[in-house]
Structure 1
Amino acid sequence: MDGTTIQKFFQQEALSMLDAYKNFETLIPSPKGAGAEHKGEDGRFVENLIRSFLSKYLPKELEVLTGFIVRPAVKVGKNDKSRRNENDHHSTQLDIVIYNSAHYPVFLRSNDTVIVPPEGVICIISVKKTLNPKDIKDELYALKEASKLCRSNSLRGPYLALVSMDNNIIRKRPETIDWIFKNMKSLYDADDDLAFDDMIGYIGAVKHWGILKKRPNKKNPKEARYVMFKHDYNTENHLWLQFLLTGILSVYYDNSRTNITRPGFTSFPSGRNYDRELGIITAKIPAKITD
């Protein structure tokens, strides 16, 4: 099976993004250790870098923005009054919101910061310069709650991701990846209103590894199966970028959202299996399987 041209292309793209971040650290060095001197700007630069790279590849009607989601308790569609007994709700500030602005309106916009209704949200990403222990539950909780705002009777929910440049979670018993999965499972198991789409699709420390949620099994649509990939820096750094793009495009081209044929855009090495299976987390509300 071919597709190596695409793999090489995204490998060079991923490395060029990391090189851009290294240049930022070089020009604004920290006298106290790794990273840039101004930590707030450090994180903001990473966020803007990821946003600019994603914007290069996605369809033009998808904007890569930042801001808030507002779910008003109003009629949806022609006569969907399912929110009748709800209250208006809004999310916390979200690092990256990928939004279909060609087909859905915007409440408020200031440059790339927006307040939007949930129907047009395709993906929500939390961005960290370095992944720390408290980020797992904090960021996954925020993404989960934002996902709930986007629940629909007809649309597949947005893709959720937590992306960092590096990792500061070091554990031995259990090992780092097992510790992360244990905390994920603890958070999700405690939620009696958890949908398959509310669970994270991808967590990655892009220099090292990624945790991926597999697509739902039609026989068990409540079960989220998580696997882990280690990234070889020189040959497999493209994996995180391709996993992210595949997840975004999977939602965008889902049959619940469009009848456009999904293009062949990403490619993974033939025979490259995941490095470890981490386990299964069971939702209370099954996935919407439309294809």
Structure 2
Amino acid sequence: MDPNSLEYQKTIALEFNATKNRIRYLIGSAHWGEDGRHKEVILMNFLKRFLPNNIKVGTGFIKEGVNISNQIDIIIYNPSLPLYYEENDFIIVQPKSVLGIIEVKSNPDKNRLAEAIFKASQVGNLIKDNLIFNGLFIFGEVNNSQNYSPKLLRKPRNGEFKNALFDALSKKNGINHIVSIDGAFIKKWNEDAKFSCYAIKDLAASYFFSNLLDTINKRTKLLGIPECMNDHLYPIPEGKENYIKWDVEK
């Protein structure tokens, strides 16, 4: 069998769905809930394997003087800079340490989705000097016959969800990546001041993580991602622009 980056990247969403279902079968749908530490742990453990060894992942708070964020589900940070506090995966970090933040949800309705975006954009606003990856990771329904992405793939009408996207566009470090692992990927394009939503099915999670790696690579001033690896991280031959569903811009 020849190497196949496209099929390899598809297995990322399969991995998350398999782990999600494995836990659900043990604890039942009634205990899956809107929020849950177990989903954060699933994502955190994946990131620890996926990211370079000189990058760390935890959960906790960002502190800038007297300003302290709400608790953040996932913080990706540079461990070479001083931390206020660290105990296992729980951390309190300074803004300069932060490379990325991710909020984790199960299946938020449009109002809860808007709340999560507003919250993430507010936290990102604490980090003034450096661009970060600011993401929302949606696990989707607990029932395999239901999907979240069809709701996300419909162009936002006037309402809290659209207002939250506008708010993120107005902030330097507002939320910039949203994914539902059953197929929707939303990206903020800073140069065009817009959000674009893509229906890329089982590659949505892969593109979320590839953009995370890209952002960290640029922030940490590494040598850059070589072209051969770029093709591996973004394996749609014709590019994802053929799968665009909507744009929201100011």
TM-score normalised by L of structure 1 = 0.72
Moved more, 161-170 or 61-70: 161-170
Contact kept? 1:171, 1:179, Cα under 8 Å: no
Contact kept? 1:99, 1:121, Cα under 8 Å: yes
Alignment of 1:121-160 (within 5 A): 121-152=98-129, 155=130, 157-160=131-134
Contact kept? 2:62, 2:95, Cα under 8 Å: yes
Moved more, 125-134 or 92-101: 125-134
Alignment of 1:260 with 2:223, yes or no, is: yes
- Report the counterpart of residue 246 of structure 2 in structure 1: 277
Corresponding letter in the other structure for 2:249: I
Deviation, 1:259, is 4.4
- Report the counterpart of residue 39 of structure 2 in structure 1: 46
User: How far does the alpha carbon of each residue in 1:164-204 deviate from its partner, in whole angstroms, 9 at most, with x for none?
Assistant: 111687999xx86323785344235468x933432x22222
Higher helix share: 2
- Report the secondary structure of 1:249's partner residue: helix
Contact kept? 2:102, 2:136, Cα under 8 Å: yes
Query: Could you say if the C-alpha distance between residues 246 and 169 of structure 1 is closer, same or farther in structure 2, counting changes exceeding 3 Å?
Result: closer
Distance 1:61 1:134 in 2: 37
Alignment of 1:1-291 (within 5 A): 5-29=4-28, 35-37=29-31, 39=33, 43-72=36-65, 88-101=66-79, 103-152=80-129, 155=130, 157-166=131-140, 177-179=154-156, 183-187=160-164, 189=166, 194-198=170-174, 200-214=175-189, 216-217=190-191, 223-232=192-201, 237=202, 239-254=203-218, 257-263=220-226, 264=229, 266-272=233-239, 273-281=242-250
Equivalenced residues, count = 238
Distance 2:234 2:150 in 1: 32
- Report the secondary structure of 2:234's partner residue: coil
Distance 1:259 1:213 in 2: 23
Please, what is the CA RMSD of the aligned residues?
2.9
Query: Could you say if the C-alpha distance between residues 21 and 9 of structure 1 is closer, same or farther in structure 2, counting changes exceeding 3 Å?
Result: same
Contact kept? 1:68, 1:114, Cα under 8 Å: yes
User: How far does the alpha carbon of each residue in 1:26-71 deviate from its partner, in whole angstroms, 9 at most, with x for none?
Assistant: 1222xxxxx253637x722211111111211100111121100001
Question: Bigger radius of gyration, 1 or 2?
Answer: 1
Distance 1:146 1:195 in 2: 11
Distance 2:20 2:113 in 1: 23
Distance 1:180 1:166 in 2: 21
- Report the secondary structure of 2:173's partner residue: helix
Deviation, 1:131, is 2.1
Query: Could you say if the C-alpha distance between residues 189 and 212 of structure 1 is closer, same or farther in structure 2, counting changes exceeding 3 Å?
Result: closer
Moved over 4 A (4+): 167-172, 188-191
What runs of 5+ residues in structure 2 fail to find an aligned partner? 142-146
What runs of 5+ residues in structure 1 fail to find an aligned partner? 30-34, 73-87, 218-222, 282-291
- Report the secondary structure of 1:130's partner residue: coil
Contact kept? 1:24, 1:36, Cα under 8 Å: no
